[in-house]
């Protein structure tokens, strides 16, 4: 398999440049098309929320402020897109032209970002999103969760500092679940080109009854992929902290992991391995649910 059409939401923040830089690295691996998407908020949808206890003039002022903010975000997102296209010299296409090389297109839609991104992600091979920098960036966090839970496709999460290279030294977090299996096979274009791959298993009680890493290696061998295996036992630190420590120890530049084995709501409220890794990782994460 290879990636041929990837979705990159742009929201008019400094995260846009990171997301596009990551998309370019993927495009170079797979010669794929980048669908750059900006979602404008519909300020009129907020009227029912603002209406109670507010005068008509106050509501109009709030809508006007929201429209101006939306317009400014669109302007900044388009500037980031145009700068990227100019720097990389990518052809702008709306349909395949028969050339097996990277290309790009620009699309603006109006509505809820999480809903539109999840819809677009279902008809893309992958969604690439820059990680929200803080927990208060709720719309971005909601969109990231929607991309992971509602697309059925892998999501590549970009850290606050995008590394110069990605996918040469890969750590696979393996626990034998369907989520980790989906992530491994979604990462196959990276795995085939990697210089070093380590399959890491944290030997918890739950992991003992699941598919062993040795069984995974037998299947990967048919794909021409030959990782090494490392097993670690739980310690006083969490599983999430263990994964990130192992990434640092091998100087990994990509983490492949299943995402959210519990419900979305439980993960948002209580946290978990996935949430810790997403919020703390300094390298890109390829996650699948």
E strands, the chain, in order? 5-9, 33-40, 103-110, 126-130, 155-158, 169-173, 196-202, 228-232, 254-258, 285-288
Q: Which residue has the higher pLDDT, 56 or 110?
A: 110
Contact 140, 132 (CB under 8 A): yes
**Structure token digits, residue 281:** 């990782």
pLDDT greater at residue 49 or residue 188: 188
pTM of the model: 0.88
All structural domains of the chain = 5-158 (3.40.50.620), 169-288 (3.40.50.620)
- Say if residue 269's pLDDT is above 50: no
User: Averaged over 274-280, what is the pLDDT?
Assistant: 83
Question: Which pLDDT score is estimated for 114?
Answer: 93
DSSP assignment of 72-118: HHHHHHHHHHHHHHHHHT--B-SS--S--S-EEEEEEEES-HHHHHH
Name the more confident of 197 and 269: 197
- For residue 234, give the 3-state DSSP assignment: coil
Backbone angles phi, psi at 153, to 5 degrees: -125, 160
Confidence (pLDDT) at 27: 95
Burial 147-181 (b: 16+ CB within 10 A, else e): bbbbbebbbbbbbeebbeebbbbbbbbbbbeebbb
Spatial contact of 31 and 125, defined as CB atoms under 8 Å apart: no
Q: Please tell me which residue, 62 or 251, carries the higher pLDDT value.
A: 251
Least confident window among 14-28, 29-43, 209-223: 209-223
Dihedrals phi, psi of 62, to nearest 5 degrees: -65, -40
Is residue 187 within 8 A of residue 153, CB to CB? The reply is no
Range from 76-80, 124-128, 158-162, 262-266 carrying the lowest mean pLDDT: 262-266
Q: Indicate the pairing of strand 33-40 with strand 228-232.
A: unpaired
| pLDDT band at 277; cut points 50, 70, 90 | confident
Does pLDDT of 75 surpass 90? yes
Q: How confident is the model at residue 270 (pLDDT cuts 50, 70, 90)?
A: very low
Q: Give the per-residue pLDDT at 221.
A: 96
Please check whether residue 128 is in contact with residue 26, taking contact to mean a CB–CB distance below 8 angstroms.
yes
CA within 13 Å, CB half, 91: 14
| Distance between CA atoms of residues 96 and 101, nearest Å | 10
| Mean per-residue pLDDT, 107-118 | 95
Report the C-alpha gap between 160 and 218 in whole angstroms: 35
pLDDT, position 12: 92
Q: Are 126 and 25 in contact (CB under 8 A)?
A: no
Alpha-carbon distance of 6 to 36, in angstroms, equals: 9
Q: What's the mean pLDDT in 205-212?
A: 65
Tell me, what DSSP letter sits at residue 132? P
Mean pLDDT, rounded, of the chain = 86
Q: Write the pLDDT tens digit of every residue in 52-73.
A: 556 666 667 666 776 778 889 9
Whether 174 and 201 have beta carbons less than 8 Å apart is answered as yes
Q: What average pLDDT does the segment 246-270 reach?
A: 75
Q: Confidence band (pLDDT; 50, 70, 90) for 141?
A: confident
Interatomic CA distance for residues 255 and 65, integer angstroms: 40
CA distance 275 to 143: 14
pLDDT, position 121? 97
């Amino acid at each position: 398999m290879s990636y041929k059409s990837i979705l990159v939401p742009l929201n008019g923040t400094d995260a846009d440049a990171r997301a596009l830089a990551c998309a370019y690295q993927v495009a170079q691996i797979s010669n794929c098309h980048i669908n750059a998407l900006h979602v404008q908020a519909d300020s009129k949808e907020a009227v029912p929320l603002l209406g109670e206890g507010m005068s008509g003039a106050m509501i109009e002022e709030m809508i006007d402020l929201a429209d101006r903010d939306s317009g400014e975000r669109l302007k900044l997102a388009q500037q980031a897109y145009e700068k990227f296209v100019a720097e990389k010299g990518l052809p702008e296409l709306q349909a395949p032209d028969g050339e097996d090389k990277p290309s790009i297109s620009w699309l603006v839609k109006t509505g809820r970002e999480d809903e539109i991104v999840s819809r677009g992600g279902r008809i893309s091979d992958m969604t690439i999103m820059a990680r929200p920098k803080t927990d208060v960036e709720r719309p971005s966090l909601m969109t990231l969760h929607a991309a992971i839970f509602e697309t059925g496709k892998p999501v590549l999460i970009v850290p606050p500092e995008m590394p110069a290279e990605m996918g040469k030294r890969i750590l696979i977090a393996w626990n034998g679940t369907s989520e980790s299996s989906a992530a491994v096979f979604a990462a196959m274009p990276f795995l085939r080109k990697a210089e070093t791959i380590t399959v890491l298993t944290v030997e918890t009680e739950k992991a003992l009854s699941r598919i062993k890493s040795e069984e995974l290696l037998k299947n990967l061998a048919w794909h021409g992929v030959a990782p090494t295996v490392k097993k670690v036992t739980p310690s006083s630190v969490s599983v999430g902290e263990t994964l990130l420590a192992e990434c640092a120890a091998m100087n990994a530049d990509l983490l492949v992991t299943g995402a959210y084995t519990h419900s979305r709501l439980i993960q948002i409220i209580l946290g978990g391995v996935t949430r810790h890794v997403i919020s703390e990782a300094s390298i890109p994460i390829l996650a699948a649910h």
